[in-house]
Amino acid sequence: MPSNIAEILRNDGRQLGASLAMDSGSARIEVQCLLQAVLQINRAWLLTHPEHILDAEQQAHYAALFERRLHGEPVAYILGEREFYGLNFKVTPATLIPRPETELLVELALQRIPQQGRCRVLDLGTGSGAIAMSIAHARPDAEVVAVDASSAALEVAQFNAKRLGLSNVRLLLSDWFTALNGERFDIIVSNPPYIAADDVHLSQGDVRFEPHSALASGADGLEGIRRITEQAREHLNVNGWLLLEHGYDQATQVRAQLRQRGFTSVFSALDLAGIERVSGGSCPIGK
C-alpha cells in the first residue's frame, strides 16, 4: 500500500538515522528536503498535509533519491543546491557544500564594508561562489573578485552569479593570487582547505563526496593558510583586512601566522557553536 507523508517521515527518518549515525532531528529534516523536491512543495505544505499519499511516479522518484542518501551521498549534491546566507546556490561535486558556520565569515566581511561607496573584495578559493556572492548581493556597490584554481568550480560559480543577477562579481581562474597581477583589495576573505591530509574525517560522512583539493592542505592542514598569509599584504590596500576561516583547533596558529606577517588588530571570532572559526587581521601599511 502506498505510504503517506507521515509514514515516510517516520519510517525513513528512522532508517536514515540508523544507517548514517545521524540524530533523529537531522534525519527527519533530510527526508523532508527530499520529499519537498519530489512533490515541488514548501515545508509548510509538507507538514500540514501528513495524510497526502505519493502517487506511483512520485514514490519511484523519492525512492531513488532516498537510496542515494542511504549510501551517503550528501543531500546538497542529490538536490543540486544549498541555501546559504538567505540565497540558493547550485552545488555539484566540483564544489564544497556551503555550511552555516561559514556565514560568520560573510558577516565579519560585511561589518568592514560600507553600505555605500567603493570597496574592493577578493574571495580566494570561491568554489560555488557562496561567500563572494553573498557579499556582492548585500553590498551592490562593492566590486567583488572571486578566484578558484578549478575551472569546474568556476563554471558553477558563473551559473550562480547569473542566476542571482549579480553584475558586481568578476570570476577568475587562479591558484590563489597568481593571476591577479598586482591587484589590490580592501578586504580579502577565504575559506581555504584546512584539514590535514591524513585526517580520518576525510573518509567519513559527507566530506567523502566533496573535492579533496578543497578540503586537505598538507600535513598539518595549514599549508593553504600559510600561502595566503605570506602573500596577502602584497594585495591589500593600507588598513585592508584579511579574514580566514579555519579548523576548530587552529585559531592560535592562524593568529600567530598573521602577527608574524605583520598584521595588526589580530582577532578570532566564535561561531554559533562557540568555536573560534574565523581569524583575521588588518594591514597597517602596504608591502
CB 16 within 8 A of CB 22: yes
pLDDT, tens digit, for every residue of 11-68? Answer: 999 999 999 999 999 999 999 999 999 999 999 999 999 999 999 999 999 999 999 9
Rounded CA gap, 279 and 246, in Å? 8
Mapping DSSP to helix (H, G, I), strand (E, B) and coil, where does residue 15 land? helix
* Grid-cell match 591524513, residue found: 198
Overall pTM surpassing 0.85 (yes/no): yes
User: What's the topology of domain 97-283?
Assistant: Rossmann fold (3.40.50)
Sequence-distant (6+) residues with CB within 8 A of 28 are: 9, 13
The mean pLDDT value for 130-135 works out to: 98
Sheet strands (E) in the chain: 81-84, 87-90, 120-124, 143-148, 169-173, 185-190, 236-245, 264-270, 276-283
Confidence (pLDDT) at 197? 78
Per-domain boundaries in the chain: 5-72, 97-283
Strands 120-124 and 185-190, sheet pairing? parallel
Sheet strands (E) in 15-157: 81-84, 87-90, 120-124, 143-148
pLDDT band at 2 (very low <50, low <70, confident <90, very high): low
Confidence (pLDDT) at 202? 67
- In this predicted structure, the answer to whether residue 1 has a pLDDT above a threshold of 60 is no
Quick one: residue 243, left, alpha or beta (phi over 0 = left, psi -120 to 50 = alpha)? Answer: beta
240/117: higher pLDDT: 240
Confidence (pLDDT) at 204? 74
- In this predicted structure, the answer to whether residue 216 has a pLDDT above a threshold of 70 is no
